[in-house]
Chain A
Amino acid sequence: MDINWQFIISTLPLYQKAAWITIKLGFWGTLLSLIIGLVCSIILYFRIKILKELVGIYVELSRNTPLLIQLFFLYFGLTKIGITMSETTCAIIGLAFLGGSYMSEAFRSGIEAVSKTQIESGLSIGLSQMQLIRYVILPQAFAVTMPSLAANCIFLFKETSIVGAIAIAELMHVTQDVIGMYYQTFESLFMLVVAYLIIILPLSFLLTWLERKVRYAEFGN
């Protein structure tokens, strides 16, 4: 089998640009997801009226509809009622909408794993509810739930491959374009796989390292 190296080299800049877009989408999508997830799980922990119900509805809605539908809704649906935003904003919001619920569930299970007696121990030294969350509950929840959070991060980076559907030149979208124009299917897909590996492998190592660090205190290695 002969590989068209000439072609690969010539499309390299295209892929490079697309990879940066993928990284950008993945980064902001993940970051916002973490924030949304954290806020949701704290609302659930304090059982705040009304907000608690809203979080429940959001989580169900977000987890039980495909990302693609969520994106179309945001991009085309909202335009209909006069709300327009750039493709990139739309894609990041879409990813965050999806990821937020996954992160919320991960945080929630971590928080629920913190024992009642640990909470009492914190209260007995006079910690306020907020201090309790910050110094006792969240650090312990993180240690427990870090593997799920890491899996969610990787999942979200991979989900960026779907947002090309609303005309964003991320890796998947660019690959489809390139195949459409030059019919170099194998080379194009090869580039795509390599690009994802270059992005996701270091991310994965970083997350594994972080996981160890976060869990060391409580669980050793």
Chain B
Amino acid sequence: MNKENHQVLLEIKDLHKEYDTRTVLDGIHLRVHKGEVIVVLGPSGCGKSTLLRCLNGLESIQGGDIQFDGESLIGPNVDWQKTRQKIGMVFQNYELFPHMTVIENILLGPIKVQKREKKEVMDQATQLLEKVGLSDRKDSYPRQLSGGQKQRIAIVRALCMNPEIMLFDEVTAALDPEMVREVLDVILGLAKQGMTMMIVTHEMGFAQAVADRILFIDEGKVCEMSEPKEFFTNPKTERAQQFLNIFQF
């Protein structure tokens, strides 16, 4: 489905990111429309994680502009506490708070940051937990859960803030193969509901299934940007062809 006539939610213009003197992101341009799913692909170290981290202020940037909902995220006056509520992030290693139960993990943001009613948040959390099949694990501690369960909880925790976009950084990379599916299914479900997402993954089948567009990055530059079918069957650049060959036996 073409979502390019939807409203632009996130716009990245000529983004430059350097660590010390090394350029890691070198003039990235991207427009993400509401409801769109962008899958970011590229060889290890090309800057995929850095790109996502720049979007919610975990990294400072050295040039260019990021606009979210029409507001610039550059400069000292950005209200990150407010912005981050709208940008959900899920990490490779779950990063649930180990000293809190599942439900405490989920409620922390909505109650302490968004100051919402406990009862209302609780209802939402219960619904979301049911959706990911974990409503019976409310009172467990993260250490008592499997990797796949932890990652599904992490997704629920982010969703419970009612974000406008979700960022996923290799969220199945740390999982045993049999748990990958349960997490990917949750993300596929979100895509069906129209959630705007940027997903970094090494699961090519999943990328093809979930993406509206594939963003292929190499050495900090956008190398290719195309629809998944196009990208996987007929990659334009040599770098993309090489990259895809790695996944073929």
Contact = CB atoms under 8 A, between A and B. Distances in A.
Contacts of A220: 143
A217 B157 contact: no
Given A135-B108, A220-B143, A125 B99 contact: no
A185 interface: no
Interface centre among B58, B95, B99, B108 (most CB of A within 10 A): B99
A123 interface: yes
Contacts of B157: 125
A139 B91 contact: no
A19 to B, nearest CB: 37
B93 interface: yes
B97 A126 contact: no
A131 B93 CA distance: 22
A118 interface: yes
B22 interface: no
A120 interface: yes
B98 A125 contact: no
Contacts of A126: 80-82, 84-85, 109, 113-114, 161
Contact of A125 (B57, B108, B141): B108
B211 interface: no
Interface string A206-221: 0000000000011110
6 contacts: A117-B95, A122-B97, A124-B56, A124-B88, A139-B99, A140-B99
Given A127-B81, A127-B113, A135-B112, 16 more contacts: A117-B91, A121-B97, A123-B58, A123-B84, A124-B84, A124-B87, A124-B89, A125-B161, A126-B82, A126-B161, A127-B108, A140-B99, A143-B99, A217-B98, A218-B143, A220-B143
